A and B are shown apart, each in its own frame.
Chain A
């Protein structure tokens, strides 16, 4: 029996794995100590739990536990990395390179440092959602201190060539920061093999709790430092003050451990379901895949159904299926997704997109139901779409003078 609603929006957030919750519970009640209380068993217990979690987190990304700075989430980690490097390395330069499909937490932080007098280059991605490595190298100048490129994109699921990016950075002595929120726990990420110097990620995208994340900060080859953005008690090696969220960190650790031990099996299962969903939905006439098919996270697909509008489309099944759309109507701005537009999609296709994010608890029945519902709704809405009628009559829509609102 299918249980509704079906959740296919795992890029937005994931449910906590019950095993994660079990691990966390004692740290709310009996083991409530402050990890910074050095003088009594309550504090020792909390510190021990945090140390263990730090090891679990570090292991997932091939880091040393000392290189993990716990934060309130990835937005804070993005801010700390970019502003922290910008301030710490001010004597070396003020130029940062990023790309135009980064998360707002990165783009807006870059805007912030521009206001502070920094210089930012926003690389344009190619139609497949990946950056051009030659363009990246050409953008590097003597004042470049940081390359900030996301590991995987949250809307289209494309995975950037991190190894190649870091090789270029290394050649020019530039640090690499990656917002790896969507990748960590889903695909193998190794800060040493990938050559990453700083990396942001968060628990709630990998079946852990909300409100806890981490910034990886490399300790050797090279030793990286960031200027703290929060003043206080000097926690986390002075880089992030604030009492540690012990239950959250314990949950984060457990979530990382589960991702590590179950990744291979889970990826095989979920990617099979994703492929089925993608293949079946691409059989719908005039449907288009967004983002490079060969460089994609295993659990994500993003498809545009031409001549129907995304929000209208979701309304056909959103009581039973939770997905997300790049349509303008889903945001307050009335602008369609900047990520899809950056791929060179016309606004019409950007408005017509749906993102499906599968997860640990997604079943084949749910996927079969979704394929049927989406297909049916697309067909139904096309019957009432004037654009579909024009398309079927062979009318060139570019020949029409549209009244722009």
Chain B
């Protein structure tokens, strides 16, 4: 199976690899996946409290090239978005952007889940209720 150019580019030059200080109240952390499943994604957002905009996003991912590319792309998209807009990122948009084959759709689902988990972590830290989601289709 050949990878798309975009997957290769994100894999070779991943954007926003790193760690934000999770003890800060304006940092939300999402950790999804499991080592046994071969994919673990940690995605973090830093939010400007006054504007509600995401000023920084970082990831670290254990997984295949598509998982790394999905999380790298997600962090790029998150920056500059509001927290509410972030919640609207759909896994299929990631699939289309990276041209992921069907067997790799779960990587995009994982990235979407990581975004939601990071936002929820931020919300809970700031006294907001946790948002509930319907289960994503592919698990």
- A309 in contact (CB, < 8 A): yes
A388 vs B61: C-alpha distance in the bound complex, in angstroms? 10
A405's partner among B33, B42, B60, B61 (CB-CB below 8 A) is B33
Contact A311 B65 (CB under 8 A): yes
The CA-CA distance from A18 to B116 in the complex, in Å, is 58
Q: Are B64 and A402 in contact (CB under 8 A)?
A: no
In A354-402, which residues have CB < 8 Å from any B CB? 383-389, 397, 400, 402
| B67 is an interface residue with CB less than 8 A from chain A | yes
Counting chain B residues whose Cβ lies within 8 A of the other chain, the interface size class is 20 to 34
Interface residues of B (CB under 8 A from A): 3, 8, 11, 14, 17, 19, 31-42, 59-65, 67-68, 103, 106, 109-110, 113, 139
Contact of A312 among B41, B63, B103, B109 (CB under 8 A): B63
Bound-state CA distance A336–B67 (Å) is: 16
Give the residue of B3, B38, B42, B109 whose beta carbon is less than 8 angstroms from that of A309. Answer: B38
Residues of B with C-beta under 8 A to A316: 11
Q: Which 8 A-B pairs have the closest CB atoms?
A: A402-B34, A347-B36, A386-B42, A348-B35, A386-B60, A311-B64, A315-B65, A351-B38
User: Which residues of B have CB within 8 Å of A334?
Assistant: 37-38, 103, 106
When the two chains form the complex, which single residue of A328, A386, A405 contacts B62, counting CB atoms closer than 8 Å?
Answer: A386
Closest to A311 in B: B64
How many angstroms from the CA of A386 to the CA of B71 in the assembled complex? 12
Q: Hey, which chain B residues are within 8 Å of A347, CB to CB?
A: 35-38
CA distance A328 to B63 in the complex (A): 10
Contacts of A388 in B (CB 8 A): 62
Tell me whether A403 is interfacial, beta carbon within 8 Å: yes
Which residue numbers of A lie inside 8 Å of B, CB to CB? Answer: 307-309, 311-312, 315-316, 327-329, 332, 334, 336, 346-348, 351, 383-389, 397, 400, 402-405
**Are B36 and A386 in contact (CB-based, < 8 A)?**
no
**Contact between B37 and A405 (Cβ–Cβ < 8 Å)?**
yes
With a CB–CB cut-off of 8 A, which chain B residues contact A329? 38, 63-64
Residue on B nearest A336 in the bound complex, by CB: B38
Q: Which residues of A contact B34 (CB under 8 A)?
A: 402-405
Pair B35/A387 contact, Cβ less than 8 Å: yes
Q: List 16 A-B contacts (CB under 8 A).
A: A309-B62, A311-B38, A315-B8, A328-B37, A332-B103, A346-B36, A385-B60, A386-B31, A387-B40, A387-B62, A388-B62, A397-B35, A402-B40, A404-B37, A405-B37, A405-B39
Q: Which residues of chain B are within 8 angstroms of A386 by Cβ–Cβ distance?
A: 31, 40-42, 60-62
* Contacting residue for A404 out of B11, B36, B42, B103, CB 8 A: B36
Chain B interface helix/strand/loop/mixed: mixed
Closest chain A residue to B37 by CB distance?
A405
Q: How far is the CA of A181 from the CA of B37 in the complex (A)?
A: 31
Q: Which chain A residues border B33 with CB–CB below 8 Å?
A: 402-403, 405
Contacts of B36 in A (CB 8 A): 346-348, 351, 402, 404
Question: How far, in whole Å, are A209 and B30 apart by their CA atoms in the complex?
Answer: 52
- Which of chain B's residues have a CB closer than 8 A to the CB of A311? 38, 64-65
Contacting residues, chain A, for B41 (C-beta < 8 A): 386
A309 touches B32 (CB 8 A): no
**CA–CA, A379 and B64, complex, Å:** 15
B3 to A, closest residue via Cβ: A315
Expressed in whole angstroms, the Cα–Cα distance for A404 and B36 within the complex equals: 8
Query: B64 to chain A: which residues have CB within 8 Å?
Result: 309, 311-312, 315, 327, 329
Known: A327-B38, A404-B36. 14 other contacts (CB 8 A): A312-B63, A312-B68, A315-B11, A316-B11, A328-B38, A329-B38, A346-B36, A351-B35, A384-B14, A384-B17, A385-B60, A386-B62, A402-B36, A403-B34
A106 to B60, CA, bound (A): 41
On chain B, the residues within 8 Å of A389 by CB distance are: 19, 60
CB distance from B91 to the nearest CB of A (A): 13
In whole angstroms, what is the CA distance A316 to B33 when docked?
22
| Bound CA span A400–B37, Å | 14
Assess the B35–A402 pair: CB atoms within 8 A. yes
Chain B: minimal CB distance from A330 (Å): 9
User: Whole-angstrom distance between the alpha carbons of A22 and B106 in the complex?
Assistant: 48
Query: What residue in chain A is nearest B7 (Cβ atoms)?
Result: A315
Note all chain B residues with C-beta closer than 8 A to A348: 35-36
Q: Provide the bound-state CA to CA distance between A403 and B120, in Å.
A: 15
Q: Which residues of A contact B39 (CB under 8 A)?
A: 309, 405
B8: chain A residues within 8 A (beta carbon): 315
A198 to chain B, nearest CB (A): 37
Does the CB pair A385–B62 fall under 8 Å? Answer: yes
- The residue on A at minimum CB distance from B8 is A315
Q: Cβ of A332: which chain B residues have Cβ within 8 Å of it?
A: 103
Report the separation of the CA atoms of residues A405 and B139 in the bound assembly, to the nearest whole angstrom. Answer: 5
Beta-carbon contact of B35 and A312 below 8 Å: no
**Measured between alpha carbons, how far is A316 from B3 in the docked complex, in Å?**
12
Selected contact of A384 from candidates B3, B61, B110, CB within 8 Å: B61
CA distance A361 to B68 in the complex (A): 34
In angstroms, Cα B66 to Cα A315, docked, is 10
